Amino acid sequence: MAKIMNEVSRTFSEYLILPGLTTKHDTPDNVSLQTPLVKFKKGEKSRISLNVPFVSAIMQSVSDSGLAIALAKEGGLSFIFGSQSVEDQSEMVRKVKKYKAGFVESRANLTPENTLKDVLELKAKTGFSTIGITDDGTSSGVLLGLVTSRDYRVSKDSPDKKVSEFMTPASDLITAPNGVTLSEANDIIWEHKLNTLPIVDENQKLKYFVFRKDYDNHKENPNELSDMHKRLVVGAGINTRDYKERVPALIDAGVDVLCIDSSDGFSEWQQETIDYIKNNYDNNILVGAGNVVDKEGFLYLVKAGADFVKVGVGGGSICITREQKGIGRGQATALIDVAKARDEYFSETGEYIPICSDGGIVQDYHMTLALAMGADFLMMGRYFARFDESPTRKLLVGGNYVKEYWGEGSNRARNWQRYDMGGNNSLKFEEGVDSYVPYAGKLKENLDQTIGKIKSTMCSCGVTSLDELKQEVRLTLVSSTSIIEGGAHDVIVKETSN
């Protein structure tokens, strides 16, 4: 007969956090939510650290370039969904990397011989209102001028009017030499009250633009997650089928980290995928793997070379893997088991492998519980699907606004690669549903509230970092009746009008 594990498989709702001594130092302003994303050795730092412990799920209904930009600006990271063409996914990654940077390559360029019609068509195509005018119409040609929306009037100027007649010539532009620091460039912008500062080399060839709005945006988003070139950080999901074509394209697009997207990470297919990436790119490309639910699965992926490991099978709100296959484990129990294995591995080898809790989050306090149980960061789908920045439609259903949300194992997604067990290239049966989630508004506003709750809980526990949360916080199991006791009870709650 099968080996029976008598330990109960538990969920987050079966636990509560015990308060600790709150000192005068334990205030939300002193709490840090920074956490490692990828493995590192004792005494060293992770190559990528998140400023908030959240990543968005590798799902069609969640993680496109729009959500990736919004989340990176708040300090988290998105993994662009892989159940699309290599070209489309790579373009989404490229869009995030180009969205905002201290030094931005010009992506809209013309020559002085072009016309106003060309300007309007280029603006409509690219969405950029600042156009670099160079001798050859490329982003690296000799800078001859600049065109912005203030240089022409569509209602009065002829579409055939040449750019040379209305552009601001280079002789009238304030520029900065290539090699100037971002701080120096911003000082020039403020001193001369500029919106755009062109950066040119010694031959007057255009290299970059620095925009005032990027400076303002950064000040509004102090937790912004950016790389050494001040570009937003973005991840991408891959599968174990077409990785030899997909990975090189994503790397070319500028992806910062990859993650194998699979419902079952304890497999030779994942090992082969990691081997390919590590052997062909000299261990320079970061890749997470999963999902697993126990020590054995964790150690298998660690030995295969995974840079982080995702934990959780069947716990997502739209996932029906447990119903369909009887496979999985309560998310809290899985996380506690893998976290223990992670700590033992670190003690034995001096190498720390971050773990990501994927699934099972229903309430905001579940996030704090997951972090206390050992997760370094959390992957969430339903949470992010509710926001304006997610890629799905906002609908009015039954008098309430909702957003569409569907699983990668649903017939709508048809992501058979995620559930691949070999054989035919098809989805054998559904492991996800098609659904709605209540519309919640802007990502930033909701995330600020969530972070506020987590920091408040941490202060009540007397801790100000996630490491302290893992090491010092005490958890208690709760009974079904104490769960009822924790909500409003034995009163008639007043209805509130909006």
Which residues form the catalytic set? Answer: 319, 418
**457 band by pLDDT with thresholds 50, 70 and 90:** very high
Give the pLDDT of residue 127: 77
Average pLDDT over residues 111-135: 92
Q: What percent of the chain has pLDDT over 90?
A: 71
Predicted structure pTM score: 0.77
Stated as kind and residue range, the H or E segment containing 400 is strand 400-406
133, 167 Cβ separation under 8 angstroms? yes
DSSP secondary-structure letter at 64? Answer: S
Q: Residue 223 pLDDT more than 90?
A: yes
**88 band by pLDDT with thresholds 50, 70 and 90:** very high
Give the pLDDT of residue 431: 62
**426 band by pLDDT with thresholds 50, 70 and 90:** low
Cα–Cα distance measured from residue 433 to residue 411, given in angstroms and rounded to the nearest whole number: 8
**424 band by pLDDT with thresholds 50, 70 and 90:** low
Q: Residue 343 pLDDT more than 60?
A: yes
Of 55-69, 115-129, 155-169, 480-494, give the lowest mean pLDDT range: 480-494
361, 326 Cβ separation under 8 angstroms? no
DSSP secondary-structure letter at 495? Answer: P
* Tens-place pLDDT, residues 178-207: 988 888 898 999 999 999 999 999 999 999
Give the pLDDT of residue 317: 65
Give the pLDDT of residue 490: 75
Cα–Cα distance measured from residue 225 to residue 232, given in angstroms and rounded to the nearest whole number: 6
Q: Residue 496 pLDDT more than 60?
A: yes
Average pLDDT over residues 366-395: 95
Q: Residue 433 pLDDT more than 90?
A: no
